[in-house]
Amino acid sequence: MGDGMNDPYNATTLDGELRAAGLRIHGCSSRGRIDWVSPPTAAEEKKAEAVLKAHDKTKLPAKEARLGELREKRRSGKPLTAAEQQEMLDHLMGV
């Protein structure tokens, strides 16, 4: 198993990208291994290859990126709106 630093993929982001592409997967690894629900069709394999090729391992999942923005806003001394506070609470509660 890799340490993640030198692996070519961000598994969390890649998993979301594969699922967003409509691929039926159990999960994936930071090395690019895809665990399929059932053997993929040729079209699914082609789609997965396109997702792997387009993947940017430095890109955070949208939710994590948004939370980073909110944390930075708090650190800079700017007040969070009630909706932003709720976003952070929802994340902490796993909602």
Following DSSP, what letter does each residue of 64-95 receive, concatenated? HHHHHHHHHHHHTTPPPPHHHHHHHHHHHHT-
Q: Flag whether the pTM goes above 0.85.
A: no
| The pLDDT value given to residue 3 | 47
Distance CA 34, CA 11 (A): 10
- What does the alpha-carbon distance between residue 44 and residue 30 come to, in Å, rounded to a whole number? 19
Q: Are residues 87 and 68 both part of a single domain? A: yes
17 within some domain: yes
Same domain, 29 and 48: yes
The three-class DSSP label of residue 46 is helix
Q: What is the pLDDT of residues 7-29, one digit of tens each?
A: 999 898 899 899 999 999 999 99
Name the residue range of residue 88's domain: 62-93
Does residue 46 fall inside a structural domain? yes
